[in-house]
Amino acid sequence: MKSKKDKLTRRNFLKGAAAGTATLALPVGTSDASVWEAFFQKHFRELNKDEVADVIKRLEEEYKEKYKKDVKVKTTDAQPGVLFSYGLDLSRCIGCRRCVYACARENNQSRDPQIHWISVLRFEQGEKFVSNLEEADKYYYPEKVPEDGHFYMPIACQQCENPPCVKVCPTKATWKEPDGIVVVDYNWCIGCRFCMAACPYGARRFNWAAPQIAKEEVNPDTHYLGNRPRYKGVVEKCTFCIQRTRGNPGRYPACVEVCPVGARKFGNLLDPESEIRYCLEHKRVFRLKEELNTAPKFYYFFAT
Amino acid sequence: MFQLAKNFFVFLSQVTKGNKYYFAWIGFLSLLVLLGLITYIKQLDNGLIVTNMRDQVSWGFYISNFTYLVGVAAAAVLLVVPAYLYNFKPIKEIVLFGELLAVSAITMCILFVVIDMGRIDRLWHVMPFIGNMNFPSSLLAWDIIVLNGYLAINLTISFYALYKMANSKEYNLQIIKPLILLSIPWAVSIHTVTAFLYNGLASRPFWNASILAPRFLTSAFCAGPAIMIIIFQIIRKVSKIEIENKAIFKIAELVAYAIGINLFLLAAEFFKEFYSGSVHLAPMEYLYFGLHHHNNLVPWMWTAMIFNITAFLIFLRPQTRENLFTLNIGCVLVMTGIYIEKGMGLVIPGFIPGTLGEIYEYGPSFNEKMITIGVWAFGALIYTLLLKCAIPVYTGELRFYKPEGSVGNQ
């Protein structure tokens, strides 16, 4: 592969960097049809049923070859009458970061380079938080948590009702689903990272290198718009564990399930009986950076 | 048709003629382009991890250079305005070189955006009609349209003029004037849209200030014409083209006003941020004084400040402005000053401190520098080749038809 590229380079360099590199980026001369199918794959929302089936088949074959196991890629649609929402009880969070690692395992985040969708911020009592996070510390490594005189605030995608990342994407590769989850089509994203500049919550991650996960650690239960293994050069983010939560009955997101202190709440905002509605009605909740009018569906509160 | 192709070939073949300095220059640029290309292949292979950009600072040196060059391209308009609207003859004669510079600068802009993409194989996703462009919502979609439009306009104007000249005909202003008039607001638009790209992000207070677009324009009108002044002197040195000092000094006068306004707008920004002292002060503090002992950009920003102020004084005084030696010093100072201020000085503080308060100090990696040099060399190469073709037409050395009594034409 290397030598082929070099040869192309020499032949092409006079034609100019643009032409030369465009040629290099394309899988010239390959006999493998799936490479071309991937190249010409349409935007996910423009595919018809048969085309979706073809794409899923191709992806499952690709993953099988790469990870030597059957990876299921679902395309479950949003359920009617559902708007997902999240609650986080700051008085309970102990900053253990179990959610961070459970999320990475569940959602097939790259282990090297390491990608985490959840950032846990540590504050000393009395430090500023909410609208100014300048005093936050993301890199804390104590022997034991919780530490005296500190509190913690985990932050992931806030699943805004008015998401600035969606507005700026030049290719419509990211959008808000009917159940309120902001998703990315990893096969359509061009990696311009405009969404990362636009996100006020530092929720988006870029695959700066080819993502790496050990074969035995790959979670085979995946969703096209969620935790299926990603590619080099595309953006990814929290999807409220779309592969789990979009089911009937659905499952809780991995972070909710793993939280040892029950600080994390999740449910349907449109269901008056849901736990999240209980929190909204009985606790004093707040959302991050309200001044930006992003209308997050992620609520923080203090239960005690 | 055949004749047209032949003429075009005659026109292009000019690039193969030149003295040893010309070939040394072309060779030097080609070498840099090649090195940049090799480094870029490494980046394609390994991903953007070979840069120093990370999630915290997700745009860096490439986008900084892109921003600066949009300004350079837009500044060609400054030459068009007096040349065509007020019929100021000395400038009118050289406006072509400004348009060709715009063509080269826009080409570099497009390259800088393309090398910054994570997935170049999906470039077609942003193309109108065949892709899925998020228009009008995404300012990046707007930018793609205005930049390519500007490239097309400038290519059309300059090639039409050259074609007519090569055929020993006066070019028909009737045909070209609407296009020239259109190029003026269009130049303003490429810069405004690029400013809005940053300006519209409420998550980044440093960019989310209304002064951004006006400052973009004024700083463009400082650096762009300064580059032109230098280039004009080189052109008249290496070719038979005569460019009057009068034209150069007129441009220098316009630069003086532009630097003055730019410094005033900077002062307004300084006052607002430091006097009100809100949390949005942090990026400015980072730039000029350092934030929590992070001060990578501080020496650069003060250098830019000193350069710009010195250049202002040079351009302001008629004695120093109309002395080629001091004028050139002023040009280099303002080009560098604006490059710092509007390149890294604009892009990086958008990300520092980050939206979650994190400070990630960014500086371009070796690979980023190599690729960037490669793109600049490519731009210089294009400009050199364009000039090489255009100059003989311009001086009358190259004509497809002899004006009268010519033999052998069919």
In a domain, B269, yes or no: yes
Nearest to B356 among A17, A138, A170 (CB): A138
Q: Does A36 touch chain B (CB under 8 A)?
A: no
Cα distance between residue A236 and residue A185, in whole Å: 9
On average, the pLDDT of chain A sits at 90
Mean pLDDT for A172-184 is 97
Report pLDDT digits (tens) over A118-169. 999 999 999 988 778 889 999 999 999 999 999 999 999 999 999 999 999 9
Mutate to test the interface with B, among A6, A21, A162 (most CBs of B within 10 A): A21
Successive 10-residue mean pLDDT values, chain B, 410 residues: 79 84 96 98 97 97 97 83 76 84 96 97 92 94 96 91 81 78 91 96 96 94 93 91 89 94 96 94 96 95 98 96 96 97 96 95 97 98 94 83 48
The counts of H helices and E strands in chain B are 16, 0
Mutate to test the interface with B, among A232, A234, A238 (most CBs of B within 10 A): A232
Could you tell me the CATH number of the domain that includes residue B324? 1.20.1630.10
**pLDDT value of position A2:** 42
Q: Does A191 touch chain B (CB under 8 A)?
A: yes
A-chain CB neighbours of B114 within 8 Å are 18, 21
Strand A84-89, strand A298-301: pairing = parallel
B positions 360-379 inside 8 Å of A (CB):
374-375, 378
**pLDDT value of position B403:** 53
- With contact defined as beta carbons under 8 Å apart, do B115 and B40 qualify? yes
Distance, in angstroms, between B242 CA and closest chain A CA? Answer: 32
Q: Considering only CA atoms, which of A146, A150, A203, A193 is closest in space to residue A173? A: A193
Cα distance between residue B335 and residue B330, in whole Å: 8
Q: Does A64 touch chain B (CB under 8 A)?
A: no
Distance, in angstroms, between A257 CA and closest chain B CA? Answer: 25
> Structure tokens of B94?
């050289």
B-chain CB neighbours of A25 within 8 Å are 44, 120-121
Q: Where are the alpha helices (DSSP H) in B53-130?
A: 61-74, 76-80, 89-92, 95-116
**pLDDT value of position B332:** 98
Interchain CB distance below 8 Å, B140 and A168: yes
**pLDDT value of position B410:** 34
Q: Is the peptide bond before B353 cis (omega within 30 degrees of 0)?
A: yes
B-chain CB neighbours of A169 within 8 Å are 134, 138
Q: Does A162 touch chain B (CB under 8 A)?
A: no
**pLDDT value of position B45:** 96
Tell me which H or E stretch contains A195: helix A194-198
pTM here is 0.92
pLDDT higher than threshold 60 for residue A22? no
- With contact defined as beta carbons under 8 Å apart, do A93 and A261 qualify? yes
Direct distance between the N- and C-terminal alpha carbons of chain B, in angstroms, rounded to an integer: 12
Q: Which of A48-57, A65-74, A77-86, B178-187 has the lowest mean pLDDT?
A: B178-187
For chain A, the domains span 1-30
> Structure tokens of B68?
């600066």
Interchain CB distance below 8 Å, A194 and B375: no
Tell me which H or E stretch contains A300: strand A298-301
Mutate to test the interface with B, among A172, A199, A205 (most CBs of B within 10 A): A172
**pLDDT value of position A25:** 52
> Structure tokens of B390?
């255009």
Q: Considering only CA atoms, which of B113, B197, B119 is closest in space to residue A173? A: B119
**pLDDT value of position B178:** 87
**pLDDT value of position B10:** 81
CA distances, A136 to each of A126, A140, A149, B171, B233 (Å):
11, 10, 14, 65, 54
**pLDDT value of position B149:** 96
Name the band, by pLDDT with cuts 50, 70 and 90, for residue A3: very low
Q: Considering only CA atoms, which of B139, B81, B86 is closest in space to residue B113? A: B139
Distance, in angstroms, between A293 CA and closest chain B CA? Answer: 9
Q: What is the domain range of residue B355?
A: 35-395
Residue A16 carries which side chain, given as an amino acid letter? G
In a domain, B10, yes or no: no
What residue in B sits closest to A174 (Cα-Cα)?
B134
The β-bridge partners of A88 are A264, A300
Does B18 or A195 have the greater pLDDT score? A195
pLDDT higher than threshold 50 for residue A23? no
ipTM of the complex: 0.92
Tell me which H or E stretch contains A154: strand A150-155
**pLDDT value of position A14:** 38
> Structure tokens of A296?
């997050």
**pLDDT value of position B6:** 82
Q: How many domains, chain B?
A: 1
**pLDDT value of position A29:** 52
> Structure tokens of A184?
């990315």
Q: Is the peptide bond before B128 cis (omega within 30 degrees of 0)?
A: no
> Structure tokens of B111?
């390259």
Nearest to B357 among A46, A134, A234 (CB): A134
Q: Which of A8-17, A76-85, A129-138, B49-58 has the lowest mean pLDDT?
A: A8-17
Residue A43 carries which side chain, given as an amino acid letter? H
- With contact defined as beta carbons under 8 Å apart, do B294 and B361 qualify? yes
Tell me which H or E stretch contains B156: helix B139-166
Rg (CA), chain B: 22
Cβ contacts of B308 within 8 Å, gap of 6 or more: B222, B259, B262, B263, B333, B334, B337, B338, B341
Highest mean pLDDT (candidates A6-15, A255-264, B156-165): A255-264
